[in-house]
């Protein structure tokens, strides 16, 4: 029941986030200052081309066909008919890269009903780097480490004297995702919401644990070790979040995801999955 409710909430949230992100981007784009007929030689501008390439620098010469500008990389010539918009702001419109560091709670659902406290939360940390290729789209590489704790049954002790004994086991999960992020990557934006959709790999290490094996015939106990076991799965990530600026470079974010792993080679909706909920800081490069 819990996993179905959480999954439904996340799927609904993703559609809402994508809708509002697209609406916000359109609104901000419509507010771009257009100065196509008022370029002044000697002044600095940010020129945006139809292919979304930006040129930032001082106008040193212009004619009816070309605009000549001095930039940090040197002198460039821009054809007037290729100019989409001009702004007096010399800050790049598009963020070049955004790095994030965060941590939070790691929830699980499905597939572990043979353990006591199967849905007990764990913790998670992540490091990501996003590279926008338009004002509302970016590709992101996300690395994360998470830990869960389980209490598996020591099944052999279900014989005489019928005491149910639990062991303690650590579950370490290492994840790598390549995500598409749909949001607003305009440098003038102070607050934005975004959606996430991606694919990746989860490597899970189920740690060893100690238990006592009861010998029914001579009423003795033997201490045994359940060995560590590792497995690797393909995984799908969907989710969303929000971020806001603290200053021109540093910001903060909060996001939630549903990470759905393959089971028997298939992605099973509402099956085995994880719900990382994180918050942290961002650093942007212009």
Does an H or E element contain 12, and which? Answer: helix 2-30
pLDDT at 163: 64
Written as six digits, the tokens of 80 are: 């007037």
**Burial category of 2 from C-beta neighbours within 10 Å (exposed 0-12, middle 13-18, buried 19 and up):** exposed
Residue 62's nearest CA partner among 70, 53, 54 is 70
Q: What is this structure's pTM?
A: 0.71
Choose the weakest-confidence range: 148-152, 165-169, 170-174, 231-235.
165-169
Written as six digits, the tokens of 226 are: 């359940």
More confident residue, 15 or 41: 41
Written as six digits, the tokens of 145 are: 């480490």
* 54-65 confidence digits (pLDDT tens): 888 888 988 888
Q: With a cut of 80, say whether residue 27 has pLDDT above it.
A: no
pLDDT at 43: 87
Residue 5 has phi, psi (to 5 degrees) of -65, -50
What domains does the chain contain, in order, with CATH numbers? Answer: 2-28+93-285 (2.40.160.20), 33-87 (2.30.30.100)
């Amino acid at each position: 029941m819990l996993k179905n409710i959480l999954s439904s909430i996340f799927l609904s949230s993703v559609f809402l986030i994508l809708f509002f992100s697209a609406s916000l981007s359109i609104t901000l784009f419509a507010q771009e200052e257009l100065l196509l007929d008022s370029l002044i030689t000697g002044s600095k501008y940010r020129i945006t081309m139809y292919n979304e390439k930006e040129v930032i620098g001082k106008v040193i010469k212009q004619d009816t066909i070309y605009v000549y500008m001095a930039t940090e990389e040197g002198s460039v010539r821009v054809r007037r008919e290729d100019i989409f918009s001009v702004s007096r702001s010399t800050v790049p419109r598009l963020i070049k890269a955004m790095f994030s560091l965060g941590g939070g709670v790691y929830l699980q659902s499905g597939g572990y009903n043979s353990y006591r406290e199967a849905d007990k939360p764990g913790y998670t940390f992540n490091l990501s780097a996003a590279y926008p290729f338009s004002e509302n789209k970016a590709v992101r590489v996300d690395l994360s480490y998470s830990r869960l704790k389980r209490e598996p049954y020591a099944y052999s002790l279900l014989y005489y004297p019928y005491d149910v004994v639990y062991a303690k086991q650590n579950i370490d999960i290492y994840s790598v995702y390549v995500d598409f992020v749909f949001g607003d990557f305009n440098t003038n934006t102070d607050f934005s919401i975004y959606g996430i959709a991606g694919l990746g790999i989860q490597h899970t290490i189920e740690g060893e644990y100690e238990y006592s094996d009861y010998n029914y015939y001579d009423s003795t106990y033997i201490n045994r070790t359940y060995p560590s076991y590792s497995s690797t799965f393909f995984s799908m990530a969907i989710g969303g979040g929000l971020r806001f600026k603290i200053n021109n470079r540093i910001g903060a974010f909060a996001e939630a995801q549903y990470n759905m792993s393959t089971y028997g080679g298939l992605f099973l909706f509402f099956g085995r999955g994880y719900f990382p909920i994180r918050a942290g800081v961002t650093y942007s490069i212009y």
